[in-house]
Amino acid sequence: MSNTESIPNHYTAKLSELDLRIAISVPPGGNWKDIPTDVPSKRLESIREGFAAGSGSRSTYYGRLHPERPSYTINTYYNRPGNGCHLHYDFIGGQHRVLSEREAARLQSFPDTFLFHGSHTSIQKQIGNAVPPLLAYQIVQSLPFKGQFADLFSGAGGLSLGAKGAGWSPIVANDIEPSFLDTYRTNVHPVAVSGDIRDDDVFQRIVETVKIARNWEEPLFVIGGPPCQGFSTAGNRRSLDDKRNHLFNEFKLLIDEIRPDGFIFENVMGLLSMNKGQVFEQIKEELTIVGNKLIPWILKSEEYGIPQRRTRLVLLSVPTAWPDFNPPKKLTALDGTNGKRSVSASEALGDLPKLRPGEDGSRKAYLSSPQNPYQKLMRGDISVKQYLETLEM
């Protein structure tokens, strides 16, 4: 049954008078270039000066979603109109506001029953940093066997939720942020170790939990990816000096300690070009498991039934004895070249109740029954498997 009594986390951030004036100036699919030059904003002045100097189009800044296209990448700043394409597509309906937490979660493919805990800032980080569960499902479903997994740098649990849905069993998760693990425990699995994995006590608690729960008759994988801010092409700190880029060493240490059958390492595309590719080569060398083969995949979420343009690097380590397998089958495309267009923002969000800036609509009713397969998936009316089947028809 669809949940008609509440829509958790359907809250949208407040806007200043200036931001509201800016939002009203931007049409669907538009951006900062549509804002009149007489709007008094030092940030807009800076964007225009940078554009004039040839430092990039900044095409998503102060952007408004287009109803017939997927969203751009959902980041951790979707509560700010100036930090990406985060304005709601419903211009005619007067929704001059940023995305709600629930809307951002839907664009990431989290179902409506997935309850996020913590402050609004924490929830924004959980959603923006997550692996889309629907993409994770298709990655793990591609593997020829099912087994157990430990999730490092788990965040809210997008990767775990997809893996669990694909038939794998979670053993333990770890993250440094307690509120992230509150979300994880509520929605994915109760066993999680909170704390910095570089702390020896935290590390050993993870190791012992895995050793106790391990079923030697099934494959064991370590999944996850270190915090990606230091690798991201959107940031300025893309060198080995960024300590966040060394957390992959902890990923390696756990692999060395528990000796899993393989791993799934997920990260941003910027990792490939960092230090002219030297960092990626170093990571591949460091993460080598004897007897395994490393398989890199570059996956675009919009090609897998997800209403968001989000490209990710996935590095898999699997035993050489395993049968060959392929990346997930592409199901959708921006131009519809394979028969199915990528899921659009309006298809993803159109049944959610309207909001004013700063409003919490968690107790509002849906605008309608689900109008398409994606909305049915988000509201629990069909399974992931059933949803993906609709894209193959």
* Residues with active-site annotation: 228
Backbone angles phi, psi at 318, to 5 degrees: -135, 150
**Left, alpha or beta for 380 (phi > 0: left; psi -120 to 50: alpha)?**
left
**Which amino acid is present at 203?**
F
CA dist 39 and 25 (Å) reads 10
**Which pair of tokens denotes residue 90?**
């419903």
Of 166, 187, 185, 167, nearest in space to 175 by CA:
185
263 SS3 class: strand
DSSP 281: H
Q: Would you give the distance in Å from CA 317 to the centre of its chain?
A: 21
Distance (Å, whole) CA 226 – CA 231: 10
- Angle subtended by helix axes 133-141 and 384-392, to nearest 10: 80
